[in-house]
A and B are shown apart, each in its own frame.
Chain A
Amino acid sequence: MIEKFTTGQNSQGEWAWLLALYLYLGSLGGCLFLLFRIFRLPLWFAVVSIGLVLLGAVTLLLKLGSPQRAWRAMSRPTTSWISRGVLFVAGFIIFGCLSIAPSIAALSWLPWNDGTALGNVLGWVAGFFALLTTLYPGFVVSNSRAIPFWNSPLLPLLFFTYAALAAAGAVLLGAPTAPSSLAQVAPLAEGLIVVNAALSAVYLLAMSRAGGSASESVHRLNRAPLGAAYWIGVILVGLIVPLAMLAWLKSAAALAGACIQIGALLFRYCVLKAGVYYVPAALTPAKVDFSTLTRTSADFAREYAGMTANRATGRR
């Protein structure tokens, strides 16, 4: 509690594991559905993607202080990214379910499928909402002016590429049951690992050069306790190990997919935990001359005389 009473660079403590899990699951589910559409993957990938987004929504409910009022979260779509996200997720779940429903034997009587115009429209609308579901988590975080480390246009891009990598990793994870998908997605996963590594480096370099709270966040990512999670979990397990497996040990693709999931989840967690509040320039000695607050004995005597005179005349 003492840090609340001293000036300094304070970490945000509001968003941690549960929100990281929500951001991870939501964007993973959305992007997995996109891969399902693009690569014509087996149907169960679509079912899993919708399930992941639903699980993400449940995680958000667990994070809320008053989950019984969760329905109010869609009240301000014009200004709030959380509101927009709730609508995107709702749209994705509704249209995603509708688009794949006829593929399920019990619902094969429905009058649309992939071959019909209505089925195609539903599929593309579901894909559109899946894209929005993948994109919005980055904006939820980067919208905060109070935390310079997050408040960067690079962050939504990085969240998107990490979502794409996690979705590709999920396909690799399911590759043993769908071998044909491995050949399609493995090169994509390798490319995304390289892209994510490069983007992460650019992002961290930009933030460390930004100075103030942003560079303090980068500093915290590089030291204990967050440093271990970032360098071992995100970089080593999440990027280097799966890249090596995909390059030299194709038979371990599923394991590479699992490693990617660990890295993708820890990436969100590390970014959230490294968030440091903006330090007011007024509290930076270089910006404001606090020496004006020091007074000589003569100043005190003059002020005391003035206060006494004011008290006598009833003024402050």
Chain B
Amino acid sequence: MSESTAPTTNGSVKWGVAVDLKRCTGCQGCTIACKLENGTPPGVFWTRVIEKEEGTFPLAYKVFMPIRCNHCGDAPCIPVCPSGASYRRDKDNLVLIDQDKCIGCGTCVVACPYDVRFMPESARGYYGETRIPFEEVSYQKWQKGTVQKCTLCVHRIDRGLEPACVETCPTKALVFGDLNDSGSEIVKLIRERPHFQPSVELGTDPCVYYLT
């Protein structure tokens, strides 16, 4: 597997997600789909929908914003990793963590401006020390004492499927696609709709776009 610490290069697939904030209802369907697909431990949510109250009574409303790892083009978590566990997969620019290399120093956790990296301290399940059969199987995907985060369901992408959160979104607020393919739906949406990238001013070149 080819991997690098260099910023994104053109010419390859660059997976990204467009989030239509007008469609998101804050149902947390993506949060639960991610939990089921990746078997994350209690308190860890690789993707989640954060909410913010806007306006004042009686014209008050909530804004929902699904967040996940942005698989940044210039990810700040990669160069700070002392063990080389955080890396970019060259063939599609996904930012991944090699669980066998991670030493659990937490440097990448404090380097990520999006607060989407997690280091579970125990391998306890939702029902205490005794894990249910689902947890027995799903907890084999990660290791205790190492950092974990959204992989954009790399195992599904490699089988030609969309990430679980995208597939499950009932309002189709999440659009997954290749940002380097000018004909893809995600690129068309980004071209046509007003949008922003989260904390792009930090120079991270996030691959998640929010359509407003």
Contacts and interface: CB of A to CB of B under 8 A. Distances in A.
State whether these chains interact: yes
Contacts of B112: 146
Nearest to A84: B82
B82 A4 contact: no
Interface stretch (A29-37, A66-74, A163-171, A252-260): A66-74
A288 B198 CA distance: 11
Contacts of A69: 83, 101-103
Contact of A76 (B51, B81, B104): B81
Contacts of A281: 199, 201
Given A280-B198, A293-B63, A79 B83 contact: no
A80 B146 contact: no
Most buried by B among A15, A64, A65: A65
B110 A275 contact: yes
A316 B18 CA distance: 14
A293 B5 contact: no
**Residue among A10, A67, A69, A316 having the largest count of chain B Cβ atoms under 10 Å:** A69
Nearest to B111: A144
A285 B52 CA distance: 10
B199 A72 contact: no
B105 A63 contact: yes
A145 B84 contact: no
Contacts of A70: 103
A294 B61 contact: yes
B105 A73 contact: yes
Given A73-B103, A144-B111, A282 B54 contact: no
A14 B194 contact: no
Given A143-B80, A277-B115, A283 B51 contact: no
A285 B76 contact: no
B12 interface: no
Interface string A131-145: 000000000100111
A86 B82 CA distance: 9
Contacts of B184: none
Given A76-B79, A76-B84, A80-B107, A283 B101 contact: no
Interface in B74-108: 76, 78-85, 101-107
Interface stretch (B41-49, B132-140, B149-157, B159-167): B41-49
Nearest to A16: B106
Given A65-B119, A293-B63, A80 B103 contact: no
B143 A15 contact: no
A17 interface: no
B83 to A, nearest CB: 4
- Specify which of B101, B106, B145, B202 lies most central, judged by the most chain A CB atoms within 10 Å of its CB: B106
B82 to A, nearest CB: 4
A235 to B, nearest CB: 25
Nearest to B116: A4
A75 B110 contact: no
A76 B83 contact: yes
B13 interface: no
Given A4-B45, A280-B199, A15 B79 contact: no
Contacts of B82: 72-76, 80, 82-83, 86
Contacts of B52: 6-7, 283, 290
A143 B144 contact: no
Contact of A293 (B22, B43, B78, B102): B22
Interface string B53-70: 010000101010100000
B34 interface: no
B190 interface: no
B50 to A, nearest CB: 5
Interface of B: 5, 21-22, 43, 45, 48-52, 54, 59, 61, 63, 65, 76, 78-85, 101-107, 109-115, 119, 121, 143-147, 172, 185, 194, 196, 198-199, 201-204, 210, 212
13 contacts: A7-B65, A10-B115, A15-B110, A63-B105, A65-B145, A75-B82, A76-B79, A76-B83, A76-B84, A80-B79, A140-B107, A290-B52, A316-B185
Q: Across chains A and B, which 4 residue pairs bring their CB atoms closest together, nearest first?
A: A65-B104, A65-B145, A79-B79, A72-B83
